Amino acid sequence: MTYLHSEDAENKAHMYTYTLLAPDPLEILSTTRNVLMASRHVWINPSAIEALSKQWIHAGITASTANSAWYEQYHFHDDTERTVNWILLLDALNFCFWAQQGQTRWTIEYQHELLNGYWAEAASLTRAIEEGIPLWDAGYLRTISEETVAHIFRGTSTTRIPLFEQRVQNAREVGQVLEEKYNGQFVHAIEQAHYNAIELVQLLANDFPSFRDVASYQSYEVRFLKRAQICVADLFHAFHATRWGALSNIDQLTCFADYKVPQVLRHYNVIEYTPALAQRIDQQELLEAGSAEEVEIRAVTVWACELLRRSLERHGVSLTAIAVDQQLWLAGQQSAAMQPYHRTRTMYY
């Protein structure tokens, strides 16, 4: 196996054609490209991208089959402004569900079903609404107590949801910003963003500090904006691209750089790690947030998804980056036979 390091940047540029083929208003592709070209720990396998692309096409994946399912049984939806605020809260708290090695994973029971991870978060917030907790109310969120948040995320054991204190802080931030800037309703933010997906992502990153997912790599800024983008995508899918989900430029979003998507890409050999990094991940060692290895994994993930999208397009299947992301994320939920994902304690994913 040949390892590609920073001195091979020009060769990599020609081999992988890391060019910007479309507008990049969020500067995610351009800033992650800088990381990609200098990466010393993570790289892309172009032949594996082509293989996975053909595998998806053979499986019959199309733009219609790849549309995100909203999984109504776990998500609150009353078709009013309340749902919009609820989705904002959902994605303000949508991060870091994994347990450290040897610890019990946070799990809940909802409607006689055991859930963990993101599904458990969504179901917990829906359960809270069903119990009469007004999670759509900005004033209520602004001063929500730790005891209430603990009750909302109560599980099947004494194991607490990870980064509990950060979630309390983020919930209060949602309430505070909504009250101070948007008269308590996130629909006003959508209106202020002119129903434009890109403007709404930028608004989230500017006005809600917990959504400002920006890293530093070799002294320059790298933009990911994972949760801001996924919040916009959730609005789009929850309202089926109508009403508050009728957002333009949704196709300009990138994939959502988390820990599950790179796990799946590694499973398909689309992204590869140096032996030392692979060993650390497989042994479930913590990678520090903002470390070179962690930023490289996320940056390479963004471009792997983009190149997969382009490969599918060359073969006549036109998917958005968020549809590609959805397919990869669901594959990670449905298969237990994968090597571990990288572990980083962070509120950004």
C-alpha torsion angle, residues 112, 113, 117, 121 (rounded to 10)? -40
Residue 70 is predicted with a pLDDT of 63
pLDDT of residue 73: 86
Q: Which of 91, 234, 258, 325 is catalytic?
A: 258
Q: What is the pLDDT of residue 141?
A: 98
pLDDT in the model for residue 4: 38
Q: What is the pLDDT along the chain (349 residues), one digit of tens a residue?
A: 333 344 444 444 434 577 887 789 999 999 999 999 999 999 999 999 999 999 999 999 887 766 655 667 899 999 999 999 999 999 999 999 999 888 999 999 999 999 999 999 999 999 999 999 999 999 999 999 999 999 999 999 999 999 999 999 999 999 999 999 999 999 999 999 999 999 999 999 999 999 999 999 999 999 999 999 999 999 999 999 999 999 999 999 999 999 999 999 999 999 999 999 999 999 999 999 999 999 999 999 999 999 999 999 999 999 999 999 999 999 998 877 899 999 999 999 9
What residues does each domain of the chain span?
A: 6-334
pTM of the shown model? 0.93
b/e per residue, 304-331, with b = 16+ CB within 10 A?
A: bbbbbbbbbeeeebebbbbbbbbbbbeb
**pLDDT at residue 1 in the model:** 33
234 is a catalytic site residue: no
What's the confidence (pLDDT) of residue 68?
Answer: 56
Report how far apart, in Å, the C-alpha atoms of 273 and of each of 118, 240, 282 are.
26, 38, 11
- As to burial, measured by CB atoms within 10 angstroms (0-12 exposed, 13-18 middle, 19+ buried), residue 145 is exposed
Cα 281 from Cα 233, distance rounded (Å): 29
